[in-house]
Structure 1
Amino acid sequence: MYKLLEDGRFKIEDFQAASPFASFLPGISGTDGIPLWAFYVNRGQGMASFGVENKDNAMLEFLPANKAYQYVGTQGFRTFLKGTRSEERFQYEPFNEESDVIQDEMIISDNHLELKHTHKHLGIEMTVVYYTLPHQAIPGLVREVTFKNLRDEPISIEGVDGLASMFPAHVDDAGYKSISNTFKSWFDASVEQDQFAYYFLRGSTADDAKVDQNDEGNFYVSLMQTENKEEFMTPVFDRDVIFGNDLTLLTPKAFYGQDALDTTKQIGTNKVSAAFTPFDIDLKGHGAMTLTSVFGQTTDREKAADFIQQHITAKKLSEYKTSAMELAKAFTSRVETKTANKAFDEYVKQNYLDNGIRGGFPVVFENDQAKQVFYLYSRKHGDLERDYNFFSISPEYYSQGNGNYRDMNQNRRLDTFFEPKVADRNLRQFMSLIQLDGYNPLSIKTVKYTLEDDSFDFTGFGFSKEQADNWLEKSKDGYTPGSLKKFVEEEDITLTESFEAFLTDVLSASKEALEADHGEGFWSDHWTYNLDLIDSYLAIYPDKADDAYFGGGYRFFNSPASVRPLSEKLKQGKLGWRQYDAVHEDEEKMAAHKKGEHMWIETDTDGKPVETSLFSKLILLAANKVSTLAPFGLGVEMEGGKPGWNDAMNGLPGMFGAGTSELFELKRLVDRLSDVDNKQRIALPVEASEFLLHLRDVLRDIDTLDLDAWKALTEVRESYRASIAGKNSFKLVTCTEDMAAEVISLFKEVMEKAVDNVEGLDTEIIPTYIYFEATVKEGEITEMQPHPVTPFLEGVVKKMKISGDTTEARELYGKVKASDLYDKKLGMYKTSASINDEPIELGRAKFFTPGWLENESVFLHMAYKYLLELVKVGLYDEFYEEIKTGLVVFNDPKVYGRSILENSSFIASSANPDESLHGKGFVARLSGSTVEFLNMWVEMFIGKAPFTMEDALTFKLEPVLPADFFSDRKITFTLFSEIEVTYINDTSKATYGEDRVKPNAYTVELKSGETETFDANGVTGEWAEKIRNKEVKAITVALD
């Protein structure tokens, strides 16, 4: 039923009988194209919903996965056929009937979805290919349908093909779902020029005083191509013409019951329309006919007509089909890998694609003056299974989307490995969003740019003076690359150079205007992912470590929200004392943010954003987190109203919950600060500097982390927060190197105590979560009783991150495998052991079925984090044994229930009461697991840090590859998105273990053709820089 094809596509035979799943086309249309989102399922004819930007602009209504499975066969794409074969009459609906003579299959590729239907008795083959329009000024979905006669004798076919439910543009999703019967009163449709149908709302639907007429609409056009001609077909938008009085849309009564369709009296008002094309063909023996339909959106009918005349031809549609696939391959080729395992190689590419469409793909615009890094396609994950998220894909050139801090931060972790020119851009962005209190905003908006001043000479690039003035006025509040391109097109400006070169020049004279929103609450884990960004940067730029830590340019996000003091959060609950209503929102600051004011804390002298060094920010971050140590040092408090990585533990913050994961990450941060050779003063706002001094005094007096110590830390933290509350402007002061060194030393001491206390708990496996039972007398907490929660995998992962050696890590690995965290049936690691005996207040995870979502399922992101730590800590044999069942690419697709090239958010574990679900993946693709796997790929093929500073910059590879990965004694992979690296292994041994082989010689070939050979010590000096600068074409590495 499931098969990986030689060309990397994945085929599912009899797909409608297979386990149901939902997925999507990637929504990439090129820098010069407008994207469209498209979600599909393995039911009906696949495509379940598609549209522009978000759910409020669907062409085919957005439905959550459970409803999409149910309705795609009626509301989605349909084909009805009737005709004659050798005097035998037939009528039926392909993809909607089961028979021994019918065979259906689905083929999934990077940017296409293909369906194939074969009716062996009638000798009819029907193929359907979906893809989104590439490189076009309008968003569109293309559906290419080919009917083929499989026999020698001719066949006559009369049919209709199309969409049973087609929306006008901009139908409010929630509104329609609530009052769809009323909403259809605005709906209208018409046939234009006998060529295309146009679907529109006659006016605004909001109950406002301001009422507008609406011209924007969706269009539908079909082109029929036979052996010797191509022609536009007149569409049918009134589905009554097809279905008659069958409102269930199950049977096309009018089409089956009449000799000819009556299309002369179509009604397009006050109803949901359709988008069908009728056809009548005689196919000779082995003849074929192709019907290609395009569903698009334009601002008016005239633009739709112009687009159709210029772009809808058989030749151009064929080019678009090829181009759509090439768009995806342009990204996946960046991690081209060739091992002895074809499935693994394809899995690498799919992970890179999916990682990029969540975190974005970096594009570098650079000239002699400046460099800007822009992210294409990034978006907040949202699809048929993630129906809770309101995704947004900007409908403009150089498309980008919104996202969450944690998601984007994690998915961009390795970008310096794929594009070294990204350098410290992400580190600066995400660390600048860290606030004075150590928290950060939740939502990151699309990036805009503002010109440094009005002196940029647009007239020198082809603008008239009037056009230049208009653009400066239009862009004064910020512009995007897409809005600039749109302006150039709308004004019909003939540039003096390519648009990309022009954009580079404009961006070099601009500054990035990063925008973010507080969103809701403060998660306890968000800050931790910045440590990985530091690791990735220094792995490529070890020679710039001093500048990274002590160079300037790091800001502080000025949040309109803050954490309330404990006294304001403390509440008497039914089951004891709790802390609720953790966050206070400053209305004055909220209003300022809406106007784009005071986004960053400012200096008290000139009102410009305060800027300091990374090292200064890291010390303040560590201070904030040390001051939020839980009682007895048993974790870092979830005092901001939100938990850590596991959102479904949403009740823990109210239970005085704490996380050891963040504790171990805090130790990692403090150890890093301790390792840095601090040669410069730190610069912080005066209130932050005083906070450090007061915290230092508290830490000096702490011998044991008892309740008094916790109260002292709480007091100094809350005093600091009170001193910065409501302020926008601050005075910057410096602290001496000696003071910083002492503070870091005290941090290190207290962290050792805290970790020792956690490790001293009477638990077999280190707990991830601990909550506290508070005793309160006269409004003051007098006792805190800790309660470790059943083991979760996250704490183990973080503990392994700071493991001192492989012996300690191997012992921990053995304990975990022997515990209930390991699913013996699946050979995978669950998010947690059973939480059945835990209090219901932990969070919504308690109410999920065991083995489902965050309740004891295999959450792939965390399971992959664990596998990654195995290889990072040096447990290579264990790692390669675990990935045989732990990576979905090596799973049985019959069990996994979808393409083994695509990750899921979670896999139902054997704890689930429904055995039929065990091992099946749910919630497609856009998961943090993609970057965890790519990190494994880096560890396996490259090593932790390909560049080091010895006597000079040195490039050295440290692969960790098993013998059976080599094909014909070699492995090839792509470094930095374009350098082909080949390992030659004449001994056919693994590159790890006692009898390992390792790099013995490097042959480096420049793009100019020049070559140079280096010994086992690596590539040094200017040649190492040439590799980092991507001046190199290929590297051949001899293993011995």
Structure 2
Amino acid sequence: MNQYAYFFDSDGAFVVEQYNDQAPFASFLPGIAGVSGRPAWAFYVNRGQAIASFGVRNKDGAFLEFFPADKAYQLTASRGFRTFLKIGDGSAAIRHEPFQRNAGTDVRQRLYVSEHEVGVEESHPRLGLRIRADMATLPEAAVAGLMRRVEITNTSPVGLSIEVVDGLPQVLPYAMNQWILKFMSRTSEAFMRVEDVASRVAFYRLRVWPTDSPQVEPVVAGNFFAGFRDGLLTPVIVDPERVFGLAGDFAKAERFFGDSALDLERQVAGNRTPAAFQTLRLDVPPGASRVFYGVYGHAVSPEVCLSFVAEAAEAAEAAEAGYFEAKREANRRLLDRIGQKAFTATAKPLFDAHVRQCYLDNGLRGGFPTPVPGGALLYLFGRKHGDLERDYNDFLLQDTPYSEGNGDFRDVLQNRRVDLFFEPALGARNIRYFFNLIQPDGYNPCALRNSRFVVDAPEHLADRLSSLPGVAALLATEFKYAELWQVLSEAGADVEDLIAAILAEAREVEDAEFDRGYWSDHWTYLVDLLIAYRAIFPERLTDLLLETGYSFFEASHYVAPRIQKSVLTAHGVRQYGAVRFSADKQAIIAARAVDKHRVRDRHGLGEVVYTSLLGKILTLVANKLATLDPAGIGIEMEADRPGWCDALNGLPGIFGSAVNETIELLRLVDFTRLALDSLDGSCDLPMELADFITGLQRLLAEPEPSAEWFWRDSGDLKEVYRARVFMGFAGELRTVGLAELREFLAEASRHLTAAIEKARMPQGIHTYYSYEVSDYRALEDDKVEVLGFEQHTLPLFLEGFVHALRITGPDEARRLYQAARASALFDRKLGMYRLNAPLGNDALALGRIGVFNDGWLENGSIFLHMHYKFVLEMLRAGLVDEFYADLEKLLVAFRDPAEYQRSPIENSSFLVSSGFDVDPRQHGRGCVARLSGSTVELLHLWTHLFLGPQPFAYQDGELSFAPAPLLAGTMFAADSRTVSPFGYDDILPADSAAMVLFGSTLLVYINPSRRDSFGISAVQPLRYRLYDGNRGSRIVEGGSLPAGMAQALRDGQFRRVDVELG
């Protein structure tokens, strides 16, 4: 492969030379339209004119049909954007379609990828033409849409007359869906209509919703297309036959490329899957360029569509730059403002760009915390990670202002882990949100939709809402912020004033549902959320633990007792059907008007039960401690789902367990013990939970309990507790002393430490176990009572090493690191770490992991999330020299893009490892774009490098800011630079490295000697220069900032802080 095929241009765009001939890859536009815009999603590949599919909301809202990556690579060049040119007149005219393969050795085709748009360019010296097409989503508009800008430049010495047809050969009217496209695409054509073609605005929709129902409902909303040049609408072509003739494969524009003129009269606008082309004639003098635009969008009604088109045309006519140029620039600025929150300036620009890209992609999965009118702080612009390669996920991008998307508990929780470093105003918000979703059984709902609001006393607003009945009706339910904004806007009310008044009377409630099951690892990421809070707000931690107001999530599904889910099969005893649905419980939940999913007292019929954060932590500790496996090592996968490694989906059925969760339980126990150290007092717990803890204390106090005895008896306690609380708590509280709870946690810590020791070995640490039932008693209906187990150990997984590094000292950390490096986990060819060692011949029983070839997907690949977790834990465990020694192999930002086969500043879910012997040419290739948990691992690594583990300290009642950066001398730039993280120029002096902290303060380390800030000869902070908003400054001597200034820094009162190291 040509090593010059991939490079970054002077504007920072990633360029793929001759992209049609390079290995295929897939990615996407961010789909951010601003707080008042309506977002569209768009996916692209390096084929044809890039855009493979786009639409609104989800796959069912596609305007250009969604195809998985393998088909998108095949079809984008024919089904995506097409441009047909007739250069000259009559039969002598030259016919040409740019951006197709085999254009000629002298034709240069380039793909341009930036964070806000994607573009293609073809330079054709024989024709004397350069054609550039750029695509971006439309920001801050009343419609959702994809903007297309096409520029044709005459590079020849003579003037050219060009007839152009540009657009899409086939689009979908609104109200189609994936099922209809797959199974009823021909029949559905009878529903299709295109309206307003004569007015040069094509509006596409089905006549009615395609349901076989007595309720016939017309379709109001629609997709639309309009083309523009010089502020004027261009003629549109919705009948593909006018361009392609009878060639239904779209291979060639036979009719347009014929000698006859285009016939735009009496186009077929129904009963056929339509096209979305514009046509125009351009006269282009030598050296000149001509530009035209297309907008492909979605509007909630024809009136909104026509209003938008009129506004765009009027603005384009009035402004020299034009409406779409202004929107293109607004889109660039919108993404730039987001990225600047992770501004970084080191001597390694690829690292700086990688951090920025990871911040963008991390927020696309977890949402960006955004202040909105009325005083709320919403997580906007997130969505579940579905794309061309993650074709199995049903993403949702809410197509409204203040857009929020869906997500999974684990993904969103992980991706919000470091949000306090960007928005400290969040405080304990995420801790409250995610702990409120923990159920009394220690599990949580899978699917999240952020939050809703509830007004408990709407009568307080009666006077202000008397003339707004629609608003009053909304306030009788749990409502989304976007819904409230929409209703107020449609009513013509003073939106900001009324929203502020309503939110002052409202409270937030979590919006979530059970969805697909209970994973064994979801709760573990709460530990890092607590640690991140302590890093920023150490003085608030103990108050946070004892503060009440935390509720329990109520689900209609429960984990069955062991005797109900242990079944005899042809392959032996298995654990199947572990999670059951309760219709009775669902009926109780459905009958509630508000707070539907909050656990009540009186066994579900009373008031919402509240406890403290400590109470929620103890709920987790008790449930998980009682779920240790029969060998007393790992925590069982008792609820049908595995842990982080989803591909081990077969492991729960063979009584699987993992030491990862045991380690995280120890971390949670020890974190809580330390936070409660020396505190007097007590806390109130639900009686049932207190009884559960008392029973566990009794078991832990036994002198030498066997692991299987503890498994049996603690499991009995857990099953009794869960049966008592499934319908709700009784309502009685028990006061428990903090000293007693500390003793319980100390006993639990000792027990868990001993459990983890059993997993250690000279080759590192075991991660996963399965258990074969060796003895049982048969019951009715193939159920069995298990009486004995035989343990089996799975091959090495990197995941175990990651968790073990979190609880080890320097010597043990180095031993683990060396063991991993000496094992099959280390890919010597790539210098990276594989997800797992080879699985052997019995891998199919473990789940789909055994189906994948070694080195691909979740089997032996460089699964970047876990690889980056390992790299982060190396750093946190003190292996800083080892980190920097391999830095340019460990981070994808420094990988050769010819090997990575995509932009190296973007993460992938996995890299094909050298274990993949099916096709060695793929080794090092990045697959499945961007929306990976690896983004937050990189951001966490970034905060650790610049700030250390505990930037804010609290000792002797005093807060201080005392960063402990771990920056190598090679990270400091030798020369001074001018940067603009906040829209104005700032000068970074020579020998400096900088980051933006809390989204508002430029933190600059100045290191005249350019020595490492770690190790024996480390430089350390000597003094601080603080710059306020008026550009005044003051110097503070010493290694830390004292209380008042530390608080001011956290509150964003300094625009810049320089830290001199020496």
Report the Cα offset of residue 360 of structure 1. Answer: 0.5
Letter of the structure 1 residue corresponding to residue 125 of structure 2: K
Report the Cα offset of residue 193 of structure 1. Answer: 4.6
Partner of residue 421 from structure 2, selected from 417, 421, 429: 417
* Cα separation, 1, equivalents of 2:545 and 2:69: 47
2:268 corresponds to which residue?
267
User: 5+ residue gaps in structure 1?
Assistant: none
Report the Cα offset of residue 962 of structure 1. Answer: 1.1
Structure 1 position 967 matched with structure 2 position 973: yes
* Cα separation, 2, equivalents of 1:853 and 1:596: 43
Aligned residues: 1022
Report the Cα offset of residue 397 of structure 1. Answer: 0.7
Report the Cα offset of residue 422 of structure 1. Answer: 0.6
1:476 corresponds to which residue?
476
* Cα separation, 2, equivalents of 1:401 and 1:479: 15
Say whether the 8 Å CA contact 2:142–2:304 is kept in structure 1: no
1:218 corresponds to which residue?
223
Report the Cα offset of residue 702 of structure 1. Answer: 5.3
* Cα separation, 1, equivalents of 2:554 and 2:373: 30
1:428-468 deviations in Å (ceiling 9; x for gaps): 111111111111111112422122422555876xx7x412x
Structure 1 position 178 matched with structure 2 position 179: no
Structure 1 position 774 matched with structure 2 position 773: yes
Secondary structure of the residue aligned to 1:790 is: coil
Structure 1 position 664 matched with structure 2 position 686: no
Secondary structure of the residue aligned to 1:621 is: helix
1:572-603 deviations in Å (ceiling 9; x for gaps): 22332111100011112224445556411123
Report the Cα offset of residue 200 of structure 1. Answer: 1.1
Alpha carbons of 1:28 and 1:104: their partners in 2 closer, same or farther (altered >3 Å)? same
Structure 1 position 929 matched with structure 2 position 928: no
Report the Cα offset of residue 306 of structure 1. Answer: 1.7
Between 668-677 and 393-402, report the one with greater CA deviation: 668-677
Q: After superposition, where does 1:393-792 map in structure 2 within 5 Å?
A: 393-455=397-459, 457=461, 465-467=466-468, 469-493=469-493, 495=494, 499=495, 503-594=499-590, 598-604=596-602, 607-675=606-674, 676-677=676-677, 678-701=679-702, 703-727=704-728, 730-759=731-760, 764-779=763-778, 780-792=785-797
Say whether the 8 Å CA contact 1:138–1:297 is kept in structure 2: yes
Report the Cα offset of residue 510 of structure 1. Answer: 1.4
1:709-744 deviations in Å (ceiling 9; x for gaps): 221122111121222233365333222234313321
Report the Cα offset of residue 301 of structure 1. Answer: 2.4
Say whether the 8 Å CA contact 1:157–1:282 is kept in structure 2: yes
Letter of the structure 2 residue corresponding to residue 807 of structure 1: D
Alpha carbons of 1:1006 and 1:366: their partners in 2 closer, same or farther (altered >3 Å)? farther
* Cα separation, 1, equivalents of 2:462 and 2:356: 41
Secondary structure of the residue aligned to 2:631 is: helix
Q: After superposition, where does 1:206-355 map in structure 2 within 5 Å?
A: 206-225=211-230, 230-312=231-313, 313-314=315-316, 315-355=322-362
Alpha carbons of 1:601 and 1:730: their partners in 2 closer, same or farther (altered >3 Å)? farther
Say whether the 8 Å CA contact 1:601–1:729 is kept in structure 2: no
* Cα separation, 2, equivalents of 1:327 and 1:504: 25
* Cα separation, 2, equivalents of 1:1036 and 1:353: 26
1:162 corresponds to which residue?
167
Structure 1 vs Structure 2: percent identity of aligned residues? 35
Between 407-416 and 681-690, report the one with greater CA deviation: 681-690
Secondary structure of the residue aligned to 1:632 is: coil
Say whether the 8 Å CA contact 1:235–1:275 is kept in structure 2: yes
Alpha carbons of 1:502 and 1:539: their partners in 2 closer, same or farther (altered >3 Å)? farther
Partner of residue 1018 from structure 1, selected from 1024, 1028, 1040: 1040
* Cα separation, 1, equivalents of 2:730 and 2:312: 55
Report the Cα offset of residue 293 of structure 1. Answer: 0.4
Alpha carbons of 1:593 and 1:604: their partners in 2 closer, same or farther (altered >3 Å)? closer
Say whether the 8 Å CA contact 2:236–2:277 is kept in structure 1: yes
Report the Cα offset of residue 504 of structure 1. Answer: 4.2
Alpha carbons of 1:58 and 1:802: their partners in 2 closer, same or farther (altered >3 Å)? same
Report the Cα offset of residue 505 of structure 1. Answer: 4.5
User: 5+ residue gaps in structure 2?
Assistant: 317-321, 779-784, 975-990
TM-score by length of 2: 0.94
* Cα separation, 1, equivalents of 2:1044 and 2:498: 31
Say whether the 8 Å CA contact 2:565–2:576 is kept in structure 1: yes
2:97 corresponds to which residue?
93
Report the Cα offset of residue 76 of structure 1. Answer: 1.0
Say whether the 8 Å CA contact 1:236–1:274 is kept in structure 2: yes
Secondary structure of the residue aligned to 1:553 is: strand
Secondary structure of the residue aligned to 1:255 is: coil
Say whether the 8 Å CA contact 2:796–2:825 is kept in structure 1: yes
Report the Cα offset of residue 114 of structure 1. Answer: 1.4
Structure 1 position 954 matched with structure 2 position 976: no
Structure 1 position 356 matched with structure 2 position 363: yes
Alpha carbons of 1:251 and 1:192: their partners in 2 closer, same or farther (altered >3 Å)? closer
* Cα separation, 1, equivalents of 2:590 and 2:928: 34
* Cα separation, 2, equivalents of 1:333 and 1:502: 32
Report the Cα offset of residue 699 of structure 1. Answer: 1.8
Letter of the structure 1 residue corresponding to residue 58 of structure 2: N
1:215-261 deviations in Å (ceiling 9; x for gaps): 32111100113xxxx42111000001100010111011111113311
Secondary structure of the residue aligned to 1:159 is: strand
2:984 corresponds to which residue?
none
Secondary structure of the residue aligned to 1:514 is: strand
Say whether the 8 Å CA contact 1:976–1:1030 is kept in structure 2: yes
1:928-972 deviations in Å (ceiling 9; x for gaps): 000000000001111112111124110111111111111121112
Alpha carbons of 1:713 and 1:985: their partners in 2 closer, same or farther (altered >3 Å)? same
Say whether the 8 Å CA contact 1:822–1:830 is kept in structure 2: yes
1:976-1005 deviations in Å (ceiling 9; x for gaps): 111011111111111112122111111112
Secondary structure of the residue aligned to 2:216 is: coil
Partner of residue 138 from structure 2, selected from 116, 128, 133: 133
2:1025 corresponds to which residue?
1003
TM-score by length of 1: 0.96
Say whether the 8 Å CA contact 2:474–2:484 is kept in structure 1: no
* Cα separation, 2, equivalents of 1:574 and 1:616: 44
Structure 1 position 384 matched with structure 2 position 388: yes
Alpha carbons of 1:365 and 1:508: their partners in 2 closer, same or farther (altered >3 Å)? farther
Secondary structure of the residue aligned to 2:764 is: coil
Report the Cα offset of residue 478 of structure 1. Answer: 2.6
1:24 corresponds to which residue?
28
Say whether the 8 Å CA contact 2:346–2:993 is kept in structure 1: yes
Report the Cα offset of residue 373 of structure 1. Answer: 2.6
Say whether the 8 Å CA contact 2:20–2:101 is kept in structure 1: no
* Cα separation, 1, equivalents of 2:1051 and 2:1007: 27
* Cα separation, 2, equivalents of 1:96 and 1:991: 52
Report the Cα offset of residue 86 of structure 1. Answer: 14
Report the Cα offset of residue 302 of structure 1. Answer: 2.7
* Cα separation, 2, equivalents of 1:450 and 1:880: 50
* Cα separation, 1, equivalents of 2:143 and 2:1043: 49
* Cα separation, 1, equivalents of 2:363 and 2:767: 30
1:148 corresponds to which residue?
153
RMSD of aligned alpha carbons? 1.9
Report the Cα offset of residue 1011 of structure 1. Answer: 2.9
* Cα separation, 2, equivalents of 1:646 and 1:706: 26
1:910 corresponds to which residue?
914
Secondary structure of the residue aligned to 2:458 is: coil
* Cα separation, 2, equivalents of 1:479 and 1:670: 37
Report the Cα offset of residue 1010 of structure 1. Answer: 4.2
2:980 corresponds to which residue?
none
Letter of the structure 1 residue corresponding to residue 133 of structure 2: V
* Cα separation, 2, equivalents of 1:652 and 1:881: 37
Letter of the structure 1 residue corresponding to residue 949 of structure 2: K
Secondary structure of the residue aligned to 1:174 is: helix
Say whether the 8 Å CA contact 1:365–1:504 is kept in structure 2: no
Structure 1 position 919 matched with structure 2 position 917: no
1:46-68 deviations in Å (ceiling 9; x for gaps): 10111110111110011111111
Between 445-454 and 128-137, report the one with greater CA deviation: 445-454
